[in-house]
Amino acid sequence: MTEPADHPFVQAVKPLVDAMGAEMIAPEQAQGDDVVLSWEGRDRVAVRLPHLSDSLDHLLAELQRRHGMPLSDLDRRTKQSVVRVLEARGAFSVRHGVETVAGALGVSRFTIYNYLNRNNAAKGAD
């Protein structure tokens, strides 16, 4: 990378890039869909966004880290909460998203659809 990794701007955006599961690269290496970020009139860093399927894996890993245990070991109520978070983040718009989440939570696809229906019914009642 042209800019040193300890440049204040690069350090400022790093937590966001990490949270997205993206990769920081040198601006001159940017391609097609990469996002080049500028600061004070200079390109400082480029961000290579992950594929949607990689993003789902990253989200699941982050939720597992946050809960401190495999997602399949969570209680029912917490699994429902995880499904709400994943729905809000668009996890179920990814091809095979329901199957991937069901596998991570150790439940059936039917259970995921029940959780989603319950969430949507609760939203409609508000």
126 residues of the chain, pLDDT tens digit each? 445 677 899 999 999 888 777 899 999 999 988 999 999 999 999 999 877 667 888 889 989 999 999 999 999 999 999 999 999 888 898 889 999 999 999 999 999 999 999 888 877 776
- Please list, in sequence order, all residues whose beta carbon lies within 8 angstroms of the beta carbon of residue 40, skipping any fewer than 6 positions away: none
Q: Tell me how far apart the alpha carbons of residues 18 and 99 are, in angstroms, rounded to a whole number.
A: 25
Give the number of other Cβ atoms within 10 Å of residue 79's Cβ: 21
User: In this structure, what DSSP letter does residue 51 have?
Assistant: P
Please tell me whether the overall predicted TM-score, pTM, comes out greater than 0.95 for this model.
Answer: no
**Strand, helix or coil for residue 93:** helix
